[in-house]
Structures are given as structure tokens and as C-alpha cells.
A and B are shown apart, each in its own frame.
Chain A
Amino acid sequence: MEKFFNPKSVVVVGASNSSFNLGATICNMLKDYLHYTGPVYTVNSKGETVNGCPGFSSILDLPQTPDMAVIIVAARHVPGIIKDCAKKGIKRVVIESAGFAEDGQNGAAMQREIDDVARANGMRIMGPNCLGTLSTRDKFCSFYGVNPSLVEMNQIFETPGNISYIIQSGGVVVLVMESLYYDLVGINKVVSIGNKSDVDEADLIDYFQEDETQVIGIYLENVADGRKLMEAAKKSRKPVLVYKVGRTPEGAMAAMSHTAGMASNDLIFESACRQAGIIRLKSINELHSLPKMFTEMPILKGNRVAMFTNSGAFGSIAADLLVEAGLHMVPLSGQTQDKLKKAGQVFNVKNPVDIGPAPPQTYLDIFEILLSADEVDGLLPLLSVWQTFVIDTLQELLKMCKHYDKPAAIYTPNAVAKSIAIRAKHRIPIFETPEEAVRALSVSHTFYESLWKRGFICDHAECDTIDDNRIMKGTMEAAL
């Protein structure tokens, strides 16, 4: 699977010099933009060279066996090309062409034909009807038709991160990548799996256990093999976040029993997620808004949350949201309240802690008091940025969170645009709405509970931030 993301040589079947040729865009991306150094061959009817990539009229004529073939020709030609790939000994094929199982019986029959050839020859197929792979660290991308300047490819490749995405639809790939431009998330790998006739989301969850990935984000249109997905997710010690479309009921038509009549695909998927420790997302935006909670903050180990605000109204708004999310507005102990009283400028020493105009040190003191309190598992700071020093205190808060091993989901009610502008630069995980911040705490806690349930952690004290692979691995081995 590694070579799907980091091939040392590639052939693009269907790249030519005709106008609007999609295969050529892949060559251009590799050569001009990514400065890919391995050989890139092309195969087209004339055998012509495309942007310096040597051209051949058949795969069989290539001077070597490439690590990977990318196919982007009309569907009817694909089965023949796959047979040529098999003859040439190519083991990895990305079929970007559409017109297979998604396109009626003929297409489905062709897809089956391809599967048979691939299976008989030990080949792995990605797609059909997909974009293939992108790896920021390997500086590789097989996506067609992507204009690097339009989707901010620079930022994506220059600051590799630790989120890997498995996305069924090509359009959503671009949406997610574009959203990340404004968010505090770096990409490790992206893979678009299309019809997933062979490589599917479960294979990739397995694969992402072994690389730099910290969080796995998935967009699914259908589940091919539910049990395989559950098995892969159960074994994943990295959070698996899934947004699935198709929440409408289906399959209830032929039911004879009440049970089958009430079972909807969506209800079953929801249950499967709970059983397998999959975090099911509520919107497509959560694919980019939530991962930062996992990469930048410790996990929320209990459900007791303390709020801290300098603008009382947001305390009440967030309190409702917390309770709805199943989290607990923790009553602060007498000892904690005494400490808060001494901190000065505090209007309310009970949860939510509310302060008036105060100097930076007061903010820091309150962070410290709340995070060090035994009764508090996590923090929800709702801080209006009425002075720029508030931002500076948030950077200190990040350090304290790591020190106390408790997370904070930060929301800045009055300066969202400014906060968003600085969050990537200062790597402060700021959420854009109170709903998003509460949701981040809630999924963090859900993930903790699922690690516990799946035997990855044995004792509450043993859990650490997920970016510390060493500790997590140690804990996992202890659990096994």
C-alpha cells in the first residue's frame, strides 16, 4: 500500500497532448509543480511525449515496470489496459475513469472483469471513478484536473501535517483541502477511493496505523463491507472520524417483520459506529474543524467541564450546549472557589467562572487554578479578545493543558475573524462557534471512552495525548 502513496516510477495511461486532456494535468502536476524525480511515462494512441514524459503506444513497450499505473481513458478501454498491466507485472493501478458500477449493468460487468484479472495477478486496484492518492511528505499526487494555485496546494505540501483523509468522492476531496487553508490542520495523506472495487476504507484505516497519521477523516457514500470496516476501526488507536451521506431509510420495503421494517441503514450504521469506536460526524465541516482537538490537545478523560468567560452571556449559551452533549458542568469545590476569590476581578467563582476587566496574569492564574483542580477534567474558555494579550494568554494555556494533561476547547466570541487569521500561525486550536467547541470536547471524550472500551487503556492515569506515539503504543501493548 505504501507505494500507492510513494511510487518511484509511474505510468499515466491516457495522457496526451490533445486539448483539455485530463491525463496531461497529472503529468503537469508531477513534473512542473511537485518536481517529482522518478520516471513518469505516458501511454496514448500516438505514443507521444507529454510535457517531457516519454510516450508509448502500449504499456507492454515501457522500458521498465513502473511501481504504479494511473489510468484515465474511456471506461470501455480499461479492461484491456488492465490485462496489459498484468502482463507487464504492474502491481498497483489507480483507475480514475468513470463509467463502471456507478453507471449501470455494462459498467458493473466491466468492473467485475477488471477485478478478476487483478485478483488472478495479485494486483491492487484503487477506484475506479476516483482521484487516487496524495502524500504531502512524499510530494506525490495523482489527482487529475487540479489547478495547484486554485486549491492552495502550496500550503498543503509545504506544511505537512498528521491528518489523513479517505474520501469517496473527488469533489469532496477538493472541498476539504480548500477548507484546511483556513484551519489549523496539516495533511499527511489524502486518498479518493471512488467505487472501491478493491482497496476500501478498511484497508486504508489499517494502513494509516503505521505512518505519521494521527487522525483519520473519512467521507463515505456507501459501506461495501460493514464488518470489515468495524474490524479495522476497532483495531485503530487513532481517532476515526466518519461523515456518511445517505441518512435516508432504505431496505425496509421487503420486510416481513416489524424489526426489519424499523431497521434503517442509517440506524444500523450509527450502532456500528458506537460498537467500533468510530466517531460519526454531523456535518462535512467537522472533517476539518474537529481534528485539531486531537492533534493539539490532550484527550478529555472525564465529562466534568469548567467554563471560563469574560462575557457572561456566553456562559449560559455554552452551558445549555454542554448539557445537551452529555457533558457535566462541574460544581467547583470550596477550595477551588477560595483560590479563584484570591485571583481578583472574578465576578463569579462558581462554574461558569466570570471575570471583569483584568490583566494577563489573572487569566493565567485562573487557567492554572481550573486545570489543576481535581474535580475538573477539561476547560471551555469563552474569551472575548478585548485586548490582544488575551491571544498571548491562550498560547500559555496550550502549554498548561499539556502540563496538566487536560484539554481546553477555545472559543473567542468577539474576534472570530481575527482569531481564525492567527490560529494557524500560532497553532492555537480555536473553534469558530460555541457549538463547535462543545462538540470538540464531546468527541474527545467519546474517543477516550472508546479507547477504554476497546482495551487500549487500562487505567485513567495511563492515557496520554495521542501525538505521543510511544506512550500510546506502550499502553496498547500493556493492554494486549
Chain B
Amino acid sequence: MTTGNVLKKEKITNEILSKAVQSGSQALSEYESKRIVATANVPVTREVLVHSREEAVSQAARIGFPVVLKGSDPALTHKTEMGMVRVNLKNEQDVARAYDELMDKGIRLDGILIQEMVKGNREFVIGLTRDPQFGPCVMFGIGGIFTEALKDVSFRVAPLTDEDAQEMIHEIKAVKLLDAFRGESAVDEDVLVKALVGIGELGMTHDEIAEIDINPLIVKEGKPVAVDALVILTTHRT
């Protein structure tokens, strides 16, 4: 990575974080959370934030069907529970209808997020938390809706070496899910290692970030992609 690139990424992160801290938000929207984790080498879905039905339809066509529509706002941390997600939209009519439905909910939004629909059988999670004694720590584990029920996760204290990241990936019980699985190729572990190291680095350099959930990280043809992300800010934690 060139120095220019690093500086550019750092600038994006700083801009988003300082704006959010000033506005008094507790968290970032999914869109902004993903822009930040993307700077930390986490691959994210292709997505665009739109503000009109026309824009929604044209951007969906550009990303390629099927797409997913989600209501976007920093305060909206539980989109699925609030009914603010529409998946598997196959054409322009679907997108236009979904757009209207989300807007009609009467929930405050800063836009509608149009994103590629990523299909895969394996879902992982990457996270960041701050331990009172050890400071920023990175988590890896089984993601998706069963994350909390299975609790199949591993932790490392940041900063992580590549070796730390490799070890923690192999520490989960369901480690076999990393191999070739039901006709899908093995998970690209290099991508996971870079992402885990990157998230640890983010925790070390940005005290404003209290916690991060990247869940699910869906594996498509061996490549993990962050389908949802949530950055919680430090300043407004009680």
C-alpha cells in the first residue's frame, strides 16, 4: 500500500469519526461503519446511499440484481428487528416498491442503502471491544443469527501480528468451516488475517471507537465480504 493511500484512508476515518462525535451520535450508520472498516482491510459489499426512488432504481441496476435495500441512520442499530431490510430484490419494480415501503415506515433516516446481495452458506463475525485491563481486543468467530447462541469465538489483544490472526482463526471449534464446504471453495484466510490485523490497528489508533461488530461476514466463492457492520463510539457510552 502506498503512503498516499494510507493517508487517504486515515483522512476518511478521521472525517467520519469527528463528524459523528460532534453530532453526538452513539454509533455510525451501517454505510459509514463500512467505509471505516473498509479502510482497515475488511472487504465490504458494493453499496450506495441514495435519497430518491429514481436514484435507488438506477443505482440498483448499476450494482446488478438482485440487490438489498436497507434503511440507513446512525440511530438504526437493529435494522432487521425494525423491519428496515428488504432482500433479494430482482428488478426495478421490486426496488421501487421496497424503497416506498421503507420510506413509509415513518422512521427517521439519512438515506436508503442499496447493496449487492451476497449469497454464501458460511457466515463469520469480526469484532472489536475494549477490555478494562487489556484495552482494544479483536474477536473472530461464527457469525450470523446464531453468533450469540453458539459463542464460538476467539479473541486477541491488539495489536495483532499475522501469526496471532492465523492462530485465532484456527482456534474456533467450527474450524472446519474454513475448508472447502458443500461445493464452495475454502475460505481465503489471507483476507481474514489482513482484516483482523486491520481492525486491531483501528482500535489502537482510534480511541473514539468503543466497539465494532462486523456481522455477518459472508463467504462467497471463498472470499469473505462484510454484509453488515456497526461502529459504536466511545464518547457517548454510559
A271 in complex: contacting residue of B27, B157, B212, B238, CB < 8 Å: B157
* A residues 267-284 touching B (CB-CB < 8 Å): 267-272, 274-275
Q: Closest approach, in angstroms, between the C-beta of B3 and any C-beta of chain A?
A: 28
* B residues 151-207 touching A (CB-CB < 8 Å): 151, 153-157, 163-164, 167-168
Residue of A nearest to B230 (CB): A257
A263 in complex: contacting residue of B139, B215, B238, CB < 8 Å: B139
Q: Are A227 and B212 in contact (CB under 8 A)?
A: no
**Given known A-B contacts A254-B237, A259-B211, A453-B163, A226 and B127 have beta carbons under 8 A apart:** no
Q: Closest approach, in angstroms, between the C-beta of B226 and any C-beta of chain A?
A: 14
Q: Are B128 and A259 in contact (CB under 8 A)?
A: yes
**Given known A-B contacts A268-B157, A271-B156, A453-B163, A257 and B238 have beta carbons under 8 A apart:** no
Q: Which residues of A contact B128 (CB under 8 A)?
A: 259
The answer to whether A262 has its CB under 8 Å from any CB of chain B is yes
A256 in complex: contacting residue of B137, B164, B211, CB < 8 Å: B211
Residue of B nearest to A230 (CB): B157
Q: Are A226 and B135 in contact (CB under 8 A)?
A: yes
The answer to whether B131 has its CB under 8 Å from any CB of chain A is yes
Q: Which residues of A contact B153 (CB under 8 A)?
A: 262, 267
Q: Closest approach, in angstroms, between the C-beta of A260 and any C-beta of chain B?
A: 4
Most-contacted residue by chain B among A227, A259, A262 (CB, 10 A): A259
Q: Closest approach, in angstroms, between the C-beta of A277 and any C-beta of chain B?
A: 12
Q: Are B211 and A255 in contact (CB under 8 A)?
A: yes
The docked-state distance in angstroms from the alpha carbon of A261 to that of B141 is 13
Q: Contact mask A242-270 → B, CB, 8 Å, 1/0?
A: 00000000010011111111110101111
Residue of B nearest to A261 (CB): B148
The answer to whether A471 has its CB under 8 Å from any CB of chain B is no
**Given known A-B contacts A227-B134, A272-B157, A275-B157, A262 and B139 have beta carbons under 8 A apart:** yes
Q: Are A268 and B134 in contact (CB under 8 A)?
A: yes
The answer to whether B125 has its CB under 8 Å from any CB of chain A is yes
Q: Are A224 and B148 in contact (CB under 8 A)?
A: no
Q: Contact mask A222-239 → B, CB, 8 Å, 1/0?
A: 111111001000000000
Q: Which residues of A contact B133 (CB under 8 A)?
A: 222-226, 265, 268-269
Q: Are A268 and B211 in contact (CB under 8 A)?
A: no
Q: Which residues of B contact A261 (CB under 8 A)?
A: 148
Q: Are B232 and A257 in contact (CB under 8 A)?
A: yes
The answer to whether B26 has its CB under 8 Å from any CB of chain A is yes
The docked-state distance in angstroms from the alpha carbon of A59 to that of B51 is 77
The answer to whether B4 has its CB under 8 Å from any CB of chain A is no
* A residues 373-416 touching B (CB-CB < 8 Å): none
The answer to whether B32 has its CB under 8 Å from any CB of chain A is no
Q: Closest approach, in angstroms, between the C-beta of B169 and any C-beta of chain A?
A: 13
The docked-state distance in angstroms from the alpha carbon of A257 to that of B215 is 10
The docked-state distance in angstroms from the alpha carbon of A261 to that of B212 is 11
* A residues 184-233 touching B (CB-CB < 8 Å): 222-227, 230
Q: Are A260 and B211 in contact (CB under 8 A)?
A: yes
The docked-state distance in angstroms from the alpha carbon of A271 to that of B138 is 10
Q: Are B237 and A258 in contact (CB under 8 A)?
A: no
**Given known A-B contacts A230-B157, A256-B211, A257-B129, A272 and B148 have beta carbons under 8 A apart:** no
* A residues 161-201 touching B (CB-CB < 8 Å): none
The answer to whether B213 has its CB under 8 Å from any CB of chain A is yes
Q: Are B213 and A259 in contact (CB under 8 A)?
A: yes
The answer to whether B88 has its CB under 8 Å from any CB of chain A is no
Q: Which residues of B contact A270 (CB under 8 A)?
A: 155
The docked-state distance in angstroms from the alpha carbon of A224 to that of B215 is 32
The answer to whether B59 has its CB under 8 Å from any CB of chain A is no
Q: Which residues of B contact A274 (CB under 8 A)?
A: 167
Q: Which residues of B contact A256 (CB under 8 A)?
A: 26-27, 77, 210-211, 232, 237
Q: Are A271 and B137 in contact (CB under 8 A)?
A: yes
Kindly state the interface size class of chain B when it binds its partner: 35 or more
Q: Are B215 and A258 in contact (CB under 8 A)?
A: yes
Q: Are A258 and B77 in contact (CB under 8 A)?
A: no
Q: Are B154 and A271 in contact (CB under 8 A)?
A: yes
Q: Closest approach, in angstroms, between the C-beta of B80 and any C-beta of chain A?
A: 13
Q: Are B157 and A259 in contact (CB under 8 A)?
A: no
Q: Are A254 and B238 in contact (CB under 8 A)?
A: yes
Q: Which residues of B contact A254 (CB under 8 A)?
A: 237-238
Q: Which residues of B contact A259 (CB under 8 A)?
A: 125, 127-129, 139, 211-213
Q: Which residues of B contact A268 (CB under 8 A)?
A: 131, 133-134, 137, 155, 157
The docked-state distance in angstroms from the alpha carbon of A260 to that of B154 is 12
Q: Closest approach, in angstroms, between the C-beta of B193 and any C-beta of chain A?
A: 15
Q: Which residues of A contact B129 (CB under 8 A)?
A: 255, 257, 259-260, 263
Q: Closest approach, in angstroms, between the C-beta of A294 and any C-beta of chain B?
A: 23
* B residues 17-36 touching A (CB-CB < 8 Å): 26-27
The docked-state distance in angstroms from the alpha carbon of A274 to that of B165 is 12
The answer to whether B132 has its CB under 8 Å from any CB of chain A is yes
Residue of A nearest to B215 (CB): A258
Q: Which residues of B contact A258 (CB under 8 A)?
A: 125, 127, 147-148, 213, 215
Q: Closest approach, in angstroms, between the C-beta of B1 and any C-beta of chain A?
A: 25
Q: Are A265 and B131 in contact (CB under 8 A)?
A: yes
Q: Which residues of A contact B139 (CB under 8 A)?
A: 259, 262-263
**Given known A-B contacts A225-B133, A256-B27, A263 and B77 have beta carbons under 8 A apart:** no
**Given known A-B contacts A263-B155, A271-B155, A257 and B127 have beta carbons under 8 A apart:** yes
B137 in complex: contacting residue of A222, A225, A255, A263, CB < 8 Å: A263
Q: Which residues of A contact B137 (CB under 8 A)?
A: 263, 268, 271
**Given known A-B contacts A226-B133, A268-B131, A262 and B148 have beta carbons under 8 A apart:** yes
* A residues 107-128 touching B (CB-CB < 8 Å): none
Q: Are A275 and B132 in contact (CB under 8 A)?
A: no
* B residues 115-137 touching A (CB-CB < 8 Å): 125, 127-135, 137
Q: Closest approach, in angstroms, between the C-beta of A264 and any C-beta of chain B?
A: 9
Q: Closest approach, in angstroms, between the C-beta of B133 and any C-beta of chain A?
A: 4
The docked-state distance in angstroms from the alpha carbon of A334 to that of B215 is 52
A251 in complex: contacting residue of B132, B135, B163, B210, CB < 8 Å: B132
The docked-state distance in angstroms from the alpha carbon of A274 to that of B132 is 19
Q: Are A267 and B155 in contact (CB under 8 A)?
A: yes
* B residues 205-238 touching A (CB-CB < 8 Å): 210-213, 215, 230, 232, 237-238
Residue of A nearest to B233 (CB): A256
Q: What are 5 pairs between A and B in contact, CB < 8 Å?
A: A251-B132, A257-B127, A258-B147, A262-B141, A263-B139
Give 4 A-B pairs besides A258-B127, A258-B147, A260-B210 with Cβ atoms closer than 8 angstroms: A227-B134, A257-B129, A260-B130, A272-B134
